[in-house]
Structure 1
Amino acid sequence: MANWRFDAIGTRWEIETTGVLGASERESVAAEVERFDREWSRFRPDSGVSRLGRESGTLVSADTGAMLDAFAALSAATDGAVNPLVARSLDALGYDADYSLVAGAPVPAPALWGEGVSWTDAAVTASAPTLLDVGALGKGRLVDRVMDVLGSTPGSLVVDAGGDIRVRGAAVRIGLEHPYDPAKAIGVATVEDGALCASAVNRRAWGDGLHHVLDARTGAPVRTWAATWAFAPEAMRADAVATALFFDGGPRLAADWGVEWVRMTTDGRVERSPGCPAELFVAGGGRPARPPVRNYGRVGT
């Protein structure tokens, strides 16, 4: 397999293909990543999302309907805990566009986040300045879009964006990284023509107990769950469920969507869905993750 590595949207990407990607294919991938970042990154002052946060108005994007419809389902399942208006609390806690990492008081997000925010398949409109954060599922969405860009590439294909992975063709064995010891895996799964996405409180963490997984209702970081993994045909759905699993409604949403999963509490207990395909190493607290197992579990925005 040929391997192409690059950095984008604040994380490391790795794309594996049967043959070496040509210059035009790489340019197409780079253009798609740049488009998505320019529209949805709250870390860029020139992005569409940043402009909505400053000025209100409309952001035109082909990703709007898919992502915000999924957010509506996430919000309903978690009683508002997963909510794109969590952006204000992320900023307040120091995970802002300047990466100040200086924590202030958390800011609860409005439970009825759809009031004042409307969308179609192609655009979102905010009636007042409204900063959105699509981190709960945005990286998975971009993985799917990159997979689409490379749809005509022959042979097997793996798109890995900082650990959110989608596979086409040959099966890939993936280690589920222990959230408290990156040298170990709590299990291993084989993914073929599907996606595996994760979220964990040890990534994007700063200060005393501060990390990027917030309960939008309080604006504060979650404390019960340490890491989640979700298996689905597409990366956006897996990414969304990996976020929802930090809250009580997550397993129900996963069942409704046909997504299998694993999650681990902060005190080391592990739960899994009935049909979860992963082999778990529970008794020993994890095993070394060695080839041919891909190390897994990194989390980005």
Structure 2
Amino acid sequence: MSSSFGFEAIGTSWRVDSGRALPAAQRSELLRLAEDYDALYSRFRADSGITRLATIGGSLPLPPHGDALGRLLRSLHELTDGAVSPLIGERLAEQGYDAAYSFVPTTTPSPARVWDDLLDWTAGTVTVREPALLDVGAAGKGQLVDLMLEYLVAEGHDDVIVDASGDMRRSGPGSITVGLEHPFDPSLAIGTLDLGTGALCASASNRRVWGDGLHHVIDARTGRCVDTVVATWVLGADAMTADGLCTALFFADPAVLSRSFDFDYVLMYSDGRARYSDPLPGALFS
């Protein structure tokens, strides 16, 4: 592609590749989208909306895209029997993945608080009945990928990829081949997937590790880190859904999730076994 724009946002590296150059105004709009999303949902910022809910409780007005995020999180919450929950933010912070990045657990693991007891997520508002720290990391980065891609397509870009450190969405002719990073050795790939117009997202428990058995994929039912699945990849129509399904696959059987969503996947377990959808639009290496 003839144009590439890299930047840092929401704590990770981003890259936008396009068949034609991005004018300065479009680059500025991408940065604004990221800043607005971070100011709303970041649990690492003292001035964010999410932090205000954690401090005083109450309600937080949401932009139009907040409804889609809430509905997806609720659906994944139900399909995983409560393992996926935005209320996991408190448990992540207690285990050391807090706003200060202390990486020091302050308590033993415990279940997250119950969604129906505390949280209401409606079309225009998220409300907590008492102060609570939310975390939308299960699908939030994917949604921001979608917002950026959809903006660029509306601006006339017909061959473009938005890549947020492995969570990506593409719009354009043909397909590209994407390698699947080995969770135990980043210099290796376990296979490849073909990405046409759509999204490919990935999640791995080795990406954010700060202690023996401590990482960012926590089961809200127990407060403990997952130790069976180590990496997931999902191909889907949009990045928000693919990102959310990557998280859900750490807890739920793909057959259960496929009753509600149309997607392709690869799973890798801690013992090195792999499981994948059939037929797979790609290949796994032996």
Q: Give the TM-score, by structure 1 length.
A: 0.90
Q: Aligned residue for 2:77?
A: 75
Would the aligned equivalents of 1:198 and 1:239 in 2 still touch at CA under 8 Å? Answer: yes
1:166 aligns with 2:138: no
| CA shift for structure 1 position 202 | 0.9
Aligned residue identity for 1:52: L
Q: Aligned residue for 2:99?
A: 97
Aligned residue identity for 2:143: R
Q: CA RMSD in A?
A: 1.2
Q: 1:136 to 1:216 in 2, by over 3 A?
A: same
Q: Deviations over 1:108-153 (max 9, x none)?
A: 112x313332122221111211111000000001100111221223
Aligned residue identity for 1:46: D
Q: Aligned residue for 1:297?
A: none
Would the aligned equivalents of 1:205 and 1:212 in 2 still touch at CA under 8 Å? Answer: yes
| CA shift for structure 1 position 252 | 1.3
Give 2:237's match in structure 1, choosing from 210, 233, 236. Answer: 233
Q: Deviations over 1:30-62 (max 9, x none)?
A: 111000000000000100001001111111122
Aligned-partner Cα distance in 2 for 1:213–1:231:
20
Aligned residue identity for 2:207: R
**Identity, % of aligned positions:** 45
Aligned-partner Cα distance in 1 for 2:253–2:275:
14
Matches within 5 A, 1:225-264: 225-264=229-268
Aligned-partner Cα distance in 2 for 1:195–1:212:
22
Q: Aligned residue for 1:290?
A: none
Aligned residue identity for 1:87: G
Q: Aligned residue for 2:145?
A: 143
Q: Deviations over 1:72-112 (max 9, x none)?
A: 111111111111111111001100000000123223112x3
The 10-residue stretch of structure 1 (195-204 or 241-250) with the greater mean CA deviation from structure 2? 241-250
Higher relative contact order (CA closer than 8 Å, sequence separation 6+): 1
Q: Aligned residue for 1:287?
A: none
Give 1:219's match in structure 2, choosing from 219, 223, 246. Answer: 223
| CA shift for structure 1 position 250 | 4.5
Give 4+ residue runs of structure 1 displaced > 6 Å after superposition: none
Aligned-partner Cα distance in 1 for 2:157–2:246:
30
Matches within 5 A, 1:19-168: 19-62=20-63, 63-104=65-106, 105-110=108-113, 112-151=114-153, 152-168=155-171
| CA shift for structure 1 position 162 | 1.0
Aligned residue identity for 2:109: P
Aligned-partner Cα distance in 1 for 2:128–2:156:
38
Aligned-partner Cα distance in 2 for 1:251–1:214:
21
Aligned-partner Cα distance in 2 for 1:20–1:191:
22
| CA shift for structure 1 position 254 | 3.2
Aligned residue identity for 1:176: L
Aligned residue identity for 2:163: D
Would the aligned equivalents of 1:78 and 1:250 in 2 still touch at CA under 8 Å? Answer: no
1:192 aligns with 2:193: no
How many residue pairs match? The answer is 281
Q: Give the TM-score, by structure 2 length.
A: 0.95
Q: Aligned residue for 2:184?
A: 180
